[in-house]
Structure 1
Amino acid sequence: MSAKPIARYFPILQWGKAYDRQALGGDLMAAMIVTIMLIPQSLAYALLAGLPPEAGLYASIAPIILYAIFGTSRALAVGPVAVISLMTAATIGNIAEQGSMGYGVAALTLAGLSGLILLGMGVFRLGFVANFLSHPVIAGFIAASGILIATSQIRHLLGVSAGGNTLPEMLASLARAVPATNAVTLVLGVLATGFLFWVRRGMKPLLRRIGFGARFADMLTKAGPVLAVVATTLAVWGLGLDAKGVKIVGLVPQGLPPLTLPSFSPELIGALLVPALLISIIGFVESISVAQTLAAKKRQRIDPDQELIGLGAANIGAALTGGFPVTGGFARSVVNFDAGAETAAAGAFTAFGLAIAAVLLTPLIHFLPTATLAATIIVAVLSLVDFSILRRSWGYSKPDFVAVAATILVTLGMGVEAGISAGVVASVGLHLFHTSRPHVAEVGLVPGTQHFRNFRRHAVLTDPRLLSLRIDESLYFANARFLEDTIHDRLAVQGEIRDVVLMCSAVNEIDLSALESLEAINTRLGEIGVRLHLSEVKGPVMDRLKATDFLAALTGRVFLSQWDAWQALTAAPALPAREA
């Protein structure tokens, strides 16, 4: 195998050649900031996934290193994220009891399946599959998921036991549990939540007013969640609040991630396969969106298919080291980028920092209240909740609004799996709806030019004997009949038409169903003495038409341009009607 194919699958060989001291400095600074941010965040997302807190650290070590080797983004930070953690909990909660060994094994298996799916998609270059989810639908799903995640964490702020996978279930369960609220836990949770909200908006301006430099103020702001962790942990330890009913993290194993194996049970794999596919697609869409946004700022290139391989390797790494499904996170990737990360080595340095934390710092979080982790999650995910997409879609496209609203309502009312399934169906349905009724414009000649435009929008020249239709969509099974109906409806109104020209400048493909419709149109028009012509047919489309008998049976001609058709047909003789 030559060096070029190897480098394609190992992007580290490309950026590693030019690695220098300047890149090292930027990567180390970014790694330090992201590590500080990831420690509480990883613990919190493990809690959200229903797993022990150390699983969050484990899921943030090997996956980051593997992505650094196989991924193409220089700034993407891979690890547990809120939406994927919620989907993990919702999936595994239906299979095993939280806290049981079976629950942990199911999480490993889910990560392994997700990794294999992503890896397979990358090898076979199936990154386009993510396009089946439209961005408005994804935005609606993430907003609804943010509401579910935040609601699911309220029980930790109250210090009560509550459950549910949908918003009505969660609210009903919380309402029943409110009388058992632990007052001390509530105070800790509210203070931590308020502090973290203030950190996001008020801490950096305050530090700047005091006199701190912008970079140092930014670093301290990013470390805000760590301050909340330290303060509440010391409060619980110093005041003995755990004895007053405040739930704490407790004993966390001290050491590097263990070597683990997912289950190979056919029953478990069968139960997890569809959720793993949904998690893979959602994770990839979130990750590639962040990676491409950050890469564009430095004019770098992202290879979507190689990103699938990188994310697949990361998830397989999580399955083999005690983790759960991971992907590229928006917040931590932006922090990584802003902190000066030059290459994917910043991720490897971050993994090294988290490994040190797993070995040395886990005894220090014994008294960390789960309410603080819940506050961390709530503050993080509420930034994802943006329902402005409803207003924008309502003003721009009513079908898009219906799809987004349906995704949000189904996610809140039936859970994340049903929500994302509804999103896929809505996205595909929207595409079919839009393309099944393509825009077909009757065009005429703009005076003094060789350009043709819609006669309803421009003052153009037309000939009552010539019908020129511009088709603004590829022709396929869903819209083939629509074109037939459009032509016949127009002929019924204007009986003197003797030539019909289909202007195909926007037609990129004609499938077999559409070809059969064109053949039917050609035959029926010929029977009433009307010729069918094509103009501006693209090369690949013409190549496929030449492989059929359609062009030989065509009653008219194929013109290079619409101008050629206009010149030839405005004085052309009529085609006599065929006898029955």
Structure 2
Amino acid sequence: MNQFFPFLQWVATYKKSYFTKDLMAGLTVGIVLVPQAMAYAMIAGLPPVYGLYAAFLPVLTYVFLGTSRKIGVGPVAMDSLLVAAGLGTLSITGPEHYIAMVAVLAFLVGAIQFLLGLMRMGFLVNFLSKPVISGFTSGAAIIIMLSQLKHLFGTGSANNSSTFHILVMDTFNYLSEINTYTLLVGGIGILLIVVFRKWNARIPGILIVTVLATVAAYLLKLGDYGVALVGTVPSGLPSFVIPDLKWNSIEQLWPIALALALVGYLEAISIGKSLEVKSGEETIDPNQELLALGSSNILGSFFQAYPVTASFSRSAINHESGAKTNLAALFSVVLVVLTLLFLTPVFEFLPNAVLASIIMVSVFKLIDFSYAKRLWQYRRDEFVVLLITFLSTLFLGIKEGIFVGMLSSLLLMVYRTSKPHFAVLGKVRNTEYYKNLKRFGDEVTDRPDLLIMRFDAQLYFGNATFFKTELMKEVAKKGEALKGVILNAEAINYIDSTAADMLTKTIREIHEMDLQFYIAGAIGPTRDIIFSSGIIKELHKEYLFVKTNEAVAFFDDPRAVSEVSSRVAYENRCKKDTATS
């Protein structure tokens, strides 16, 4: 039950001290969620109330099925833009048909995510390295902050781009339209939130600022001075409607649905993992997250919701407000329901500039300067991955930043494995250990008649040529005094067919040079490959050893190896399988 319903885990260990924090975080996120949801629905080409529908049942579903205790699920800007862009390419006539197609799209997105979860495809998250997450987080935080400037300045006519350069140019173009009162309200909001946070982090500064701003807007009639307010929210809960799953609609929508499903999942996981890094809690199960997001979108599609995922800004607010469990999201849902039914007048006077100030302060802390600085000092290659992800997120877009970052990380991994560490070993004085000559210097002895080397990676097509080149280079350095070559294979956990063919030919070339070749320390699976691939035919099994010092002893005296050591070294799965059959 815990596996299928993760909420049972945090319910069983719930503490009374968590309740207040979850309540305050849930209400704070809910206050932001209501106007954000309406605004994002408009971006998606839908009436504002449909954003609240997306903030209702999908969020409630995630409360019970989600494994992250920090992220805020619901309608988001990026997915809203993708919905509008995707459906905009289709020939859809009339708002009712458009709304119906959005419901079908939400169902398909959920179905794809749910199916990927059943297929245990959550391993995709393993390709999100920390530099990628940090670069994406920092870039997206800046994009979100810039996107809020139009609300902070009161220039609501600005566009909804998600790229840095367009947002900056857009801001400059509308500087002449800045509303001084709006800027003053937003500026005071930022100042008060920061002061409350510095004074005492336990004080719900965001909630206090929201209440004060709403009261001030009502008493001072700020709307008359051009300060944009949230305005009227239509009342009533969403009705149950079965999506019109016709084949023609599915055929048109599945490419958009696939993109939304993958982007939504990667956004949720990226945000969740970045918040886990900050909080030190690790609860996310990637496969269960797919099932949770899929279920949220499927259920939401029956109640007129459009596709949802984790929101960067609301997740940051949830984290900063001290949320401990998913109960915080339940309080947000309660506020959405109360808003739909009763609280429309309360939010009518809430200034958009205050919402912008809340978001900007919350996401600013997600920009991780210290980690980037550490990578620059100690791991330049990973810093490059972080920088590429960061710049891609800024100038290409949030979803593009994630994919480019993942690709950069994979390319770095391929580059590393194509040129792994290659060490020439020598015996540590008065011991049986063999260590890197360059690292240990005078503490090890290097025999002129024997070359001992270690290859610290799997042998595969990408590094087979590198291995042979480095080996032959060291053989040439030894010159005519060299009589034998020992490969320490402790770190080689796999040999593919290309590398096996290369190793067989290399051993043959070594033999043709009147040198003997030995392999020591090969683990079981590697020994299996040595026997099954035919390497053993060129090597001969008497030259396969458990330890490097045994190979050296055999080189000096062929009678030195024990029978037990030989039996272990020659053991292989193929031989055992044949014996059993």
| Fold agreement, TM-score > 0.5 | yes
Which piece of structure 1 moves more, 457-466 or 315-324? 315-324
Match of 1:152 among 118, 142, 147: 147
Match of 2:271 among 278, 286, 298: 286
C-alpha offsets along residues 494-530 of structure 1, whole Å, 9 cap, x if unaligned? 2233322221222222222322222222222222223
Answer whether contact 2:40 2:51 (CA < 8 A) is retained: no
Where structure 2 has 5 or more consecutive residues not aligned to the other structure, the ranges are 560-581
C-alpha offsets along residues 65-110 of structure 1, whole Å, 9 cap, x if unaligned? 323333345x3454248xxx34224434534579977887777666
Partner residue, 1:437: 419
SS for the counterpart of 2:237 is: coil
Once the two structures are superposed, the pairs formed by residues 256-335 of structure 1 within 5 Å of their partners are: 256-259=237-240, 261=243, 264-290=249-275, 303-321=285-303, 322-327=305-310, 330-331=315-316, 334=319
What is the Cα deviation at residue 432 of structure 1? Answer: 1.0
Partner residue, 2:166: 169
Match status 1:223 vs 2:204:
no
CA–CA separation in structure 1 for the residues paired with 2:175 and 2:277: 44
Partner residue, 1:522: 507
- Provide the identity percentage: 28
Once the two structures are superposed, the pairs formed by residues 69-468 of structure 1 within 5 Å of their partners are: 69-72=64-67, 75-80=69-74, 85-95=76-86, 112-160=107-155, 161-163=157-159, 164-179=161-176, 181-183=177-179, 186-199=180-193, 201-203=194-196, 206=199, 218-227=202-211, 229-231=213-215, 233-234=217-218, 238-239=220-221, 241-259=222-240, 261=243, 264-290=249-275, 303-321=285-303, 322-327=305-310, 330-331=315-316, 334=319, 338=322, 341=325, 344=326, 347-348=329-330, 350-458=332-440, 459-468=443-452
What is the Cα deviation at residue 354 of structure 1? Answer: 3.8
CA–CA separation in structure 2 for the residues paired with 1:106 and 1:372: 34
Normalising by structure 1, we get a TM-score of 0.81
Once the two structures are superposed, the pairs formed by residues 492-503 of structure 1 within 5 Å of their partners are: 492-495=476-479, 496-503=481-488
What is the Cα deviation at residue 135 of structure 1? Answer: 1.3
Which piece of structure 1 moves more, 468-477 or 311-320? 311-320
C-alpha offsets along residues 131-183 of structure 1, whole Å, 9 cap, x if unaligned? 2222112211221222222222212223332224422222222322222x152
Answer whether contact 2:452 2:486 (CA < 8 A) is retained: yes
CA–CA separation in structure 2 for the residues paired with 1:420 and 1:106: 27
Decide whether aligned partners of structure 1 residues 25 and 273 sit closer, same or farther in structure 2, where only a CA change above 3 A counts: same
Decide whether aligned partners of structure 1 residues 108 and 387 sit closer, same or farther in structure 2, where only a CA change above 3 A counts: farther
Answer whether contact 2:483 2:516 (CA < 8 A) is retained: yes
What is the Cα deviation at residue 374 of structure 1? Answer: 2.5
Match status 1:557 vs 2:538:
no
Match of 1:484 among 456, 468, 477: 468
Partner residue, 1:577: none
What is the Cα deviation at residue 430 of structure 1? Answer: 1.0
C-alpha offsets along residues 461-520 of structure 1, whole Å, 9 cap, x if unaligned? 222222211121222222122111111111122223332222122222222232222222
What is the Cα deviation at residue 262 of structure 1? Answer: 8.5
CA–CA separation in structure 1 for the residues paired with 2:332 and 2:17: 12
CA–CA separation in structure 2 for the residues paired with 1:501 and 1:284: 46
What is the Cα deviation at residue 399 of structure 1? Answer: 2.1
Number of positions where the alignment pairs a residue of Structure 1 with one of Structure 2? 538
What is the Cα deviation at residue 353 of structure 1? Answer: 4.4
Which piece of structure 1 moves more, 48-57 or 539-548? 48-57
Letter in structure 2 aligned against 1:473: A
What is the Cα deviation at residue 277 of structure 1? Answer: 1.4
Match status 1:547 vs 2:547:
no
Letter in structure 2 aligned against 1:443: L
C-alpha offsets along residues 265-310 of structure 1, whole Å, 9 cap, x if unaligned? 433332353353133123213224545875x65xx86544323323
CA–CA separation in structure 2 for the residues paired with 1:25 and 1:55: 35
Answer whether contact 2:214 2:349 (CA < 8 A) is retained: no
Q: CA RMSD in A?
A: 3.5
SS for the counterpart of 2:486 is: strand
Decide whether aligned partners of structure 1 residues 415 and 76 sit closer, same or farther in structure 2, where only a CA change above 3 A counts: closer
Answer whether contact 1:110 1:325 (CA < 8 A) is retained: no
Letter in structure 2 aligned against 1:355: V
What is the Cα deviation at residue 454 of structure 1? Answer: 0.5
Where structure 1 has 5 or more consecutive residues not aligned to the other structure, the ranges are 1-5, 209-216, 574-580
SS for the counterpart of 2:403 is: helix
What is the Cα deviation at residue 359 of structure 1? Answer: 2.1
SS for the counterpart of 1:532 is: strand
Which piece of structure 1 moves more, 379-388 or 107-116? 107-116
CA–CA separation in structure 2 for the residues paired with 1:425 and 1:173: 30
What is the Cα deviation at residue 204 of structure 1? Answer: 5.3
SS for the counterpart of 2:485 is: strand
Answer whether contact 2:106 2:300 (CA < 8 A) is retained: yes
Letter in structure 2 aligned against 1:120: L
What is the Cα deviation at residue 24 of structure 1? Answer: 7.3
Decide whether aligned partners of structure 1 residues 340 and 173 sit closer, same or farther in structure 2, where only a CA change above 3 A counts: closer
C-alpha offsets along residues 344-384 of structure 1, whole Å, 9 cap, x if unaligned? 55544553344234322123222333333333322222222
Letter in structure 2 aligned against 1:198: L
CA–CA separation in structure 1 for the residues paired with 2:95 and 2:143: 24
Normalising by structure 2, we get a TM-score of 0.81
CA–CA separation in structure 2 for the residues paired with 1:110 and 1:395: 46
